[in-house]
Amino acid sequence: MADILPLRFRMLHYISTVEKTSVDQIMKALEPEYGLEKQFKKEVLMEHFLDMKANLIIEDNDVVFDDKGELLIYYSINDEGRRLLEKYLPKRWNQPSFL
Amino acid sequence: MKRAGDQTAFLMKEKLNANFARKGIFTGLFSGCTWGLNSVLLGMALSLVPVMGGKAAIFAIPLAAACMNDFIAGLWLLFYNGGAGRLKEITRSLKTFPGLMVVIAALLGGPIANGGYLLGISMAGPAYALTITALYPIVGAILSRIFLKRHILPRVWVGMLISVIGAIVISYVPPEGGNGETFYIGLLFASLAALGWGAEAVLAVFGMSMIDPKIAINIRELTSGLFLAIFILPFVGGWAVISHVVTQPGAIGAFAICGLAGAVSYLAWYKANSTVGVAKGMALNGTYVMWGVIFSVILLSQPLTQNLVIGSLLVLMGTTLVAINPKQFFSKVGRHNHG
C-alpha cells in the first residue's frame, strides 16, 4: 500500500466523493485503509474535520441530533476544497476506481 | 445551503467551532511563551560552549545553535509522532505537493530567514535589524491576504501593529549609526528574514489544509536542521562548534532541553496557524519577544527595564485585540470567526 494518502488529504478526498459525511461514516469508509493505525481514532478525525472547516475548505451546515440525542455534524466539500483537490490530488487518485 | 431545522443542534455545533477557535488562540499564545523560553534556554546552553573567538562568534555559533535546535526538535517530534502512531504520515506527506510546500516553507523559515536575521544584525546593527524583523507578523498577514485570500479584520490589523510596536520597544537598543555600504545590505538581509518567516507561515498553512500540522512541523524541523548541517555549517565553521558541544555532556543535555522547548513551541505555532489563520497565529506567536525578556528576568536575573514594561503592555494590548472580539469571546455561544 505504497500509495496511501496522508489521512487529512484522504479525508478531504473522501468528502468530495459523497454529498455529506459524519465522523462515524468516514471512519467506516476509511477503515480498510487506515483501520490498523493507532492514529485512526474518532477524536483525531474530528480534529481534522474542525481544522479543515477552519481552513474554509469544507462546510458543516447540516447538523442534527441522532437517536441517542448526540450531536451529529455532517461535513461537505465546498468550491475551495474541490479546487485544491483538482490541483493537488495525485493523478492516480483521480481515476474512477478510487471514487 | 442545507441547514437542519433543529436550532439547538446548530447552536451546539457553532459552540464547538467557537471552542475550537478559542483553543487555537491559547495554543498560539503558548507557542509564543515556549518560544521565549526556548530563546532564553538557548542562550544558557550556549554559555556552556567553550569560548570561540573571531568568525565563529559571529556566524558559526548562532547557526550551529539554530541547526541543533531545529534538528533536536525534529527528533523529539519523531518520538511524539511515533508514540501517536503517525510516523508513516511523514513519508506519505512528502509524496504530495502540499508536503513539498512544507519543505520549501522549512527552507524559507529555517536557513534563509535565520541566516538573514543573523547577517542583518551583524551588518546593520541590532537596532535596525531587530526592528525590521519584528515586522514579520505583518508580512505574514499581507502574504496570507494575497495568497490564501484570507480576509483580515481591521481589529486584527490594528492589534498586530500595536504588538509589533511593543516588540520593537522591548528589543530596542540605541542605534550605533549607519556604517557604510554593509549597513544597507544588512537592512536587506533583515527584510529577507521578515519575508522568510512570513512566507514560511503562509506556505505551511497552505500545506496543512491537506496534511496534519503535527506532521508538517516534524518535516519542517528535520528539513531545516539537516539543511543547515549539510549545506551551511561546513562553510561557516559550524561543525567545530557542534564538536565542542558533543564532548560536553552538560551542553548536550542543555541543547536537548532547548530542542524540547523548541519542538513544543513550533508544534503549537503550526497548530495555531492552521486553526486560527496566519495573521492571528503569527501575532500570538510574536509575543515571544515579551516572554523572552520575562524569562530572562526570572531565570537570568536581568533587570526589569522601563522599555520592557512599556513594550510588554503594548504587546499584551495588541495581541488581545488580535485574538479577541470582546462581544464573541465572552458570549456563551460565539460564532467561529476566521480573522
In this predicted complex, what is the ipTM?
A: 0.92
In this complex, the residue of A8, A65, A71 whose CB is nearest that of residue B210 is: A8
Question: Is B3 in the A-facing interface, judged by CB distances under 8 Å?
Answer: yes
Structure confidence at residue B53 (pLDDT):
66
Domain ranges of chain A: 7-93
For the stretch B275-330, pLDDT in tens is: 998 888 988 998 888 898 888 888 888 888 888 889 888 988 898 888 777 666 66
Please give the CATH topology (third level) of the domain spanning A7-93: Arc Repressor Mutant, subunit A (1.10.10)
CB-CB neighbors (< 8 A) of A90 in chain B: 95-96
In this complex, the residue of B98, B99, B275 whose CB is nearest that of residue A54 is: B275
CA distance A59 to chain B (A): 10
Q: Span B138-143, mean pLDDT? A: 90
Q: Which of A37, A77, A88, A89 is the best mutation test for B, with the most CBs of B within 10 A?
A: A88
CB atoms within 10 A of CB B89: 27
Beta carbons of A73 and B336 less than 8 Å apart? no
CB-CB neighbors (< 8 A) of A93 in chain B: none
Among the residue ranges B2-11, B57-66, B76-85, the one predicted with the least confidence is B2-11
Beta carbons of A55 and B92 less than 8 Å apart? no
Contact residues for B101 (Cβ-Cβ < 8 A; gap 6+): B203, B204, B206, B207
Beta carbons of B275 and A76 less than 8 Å apart? no
For the stretch A21-66, pLDDT in tens is: 999 999 999 999 999 999 999 999 999 999 999 999 999 989 999 8
CA distances, B26 to each of B32, B191, B238 (Å): 10, 29, 36
Question: Is B96 in the A-facing interface, judged by CB distances under 8 Å?
Answer: yes
CA distances, B264 to each of B29, B36, B51, B273 (Å): 12, 12, 29, 14
Q: How many CA atoms lie within 13 A of A30 on its CB side?
A: 27
Q: How confident is the model at residue B3 (pLDDT cuts 50, 70, 90)?
A: very low
Beta carbons of B209 and A61 less than 8 Å apart? no
Beta carbons of A90 and B212 less than 8 Å apart? no
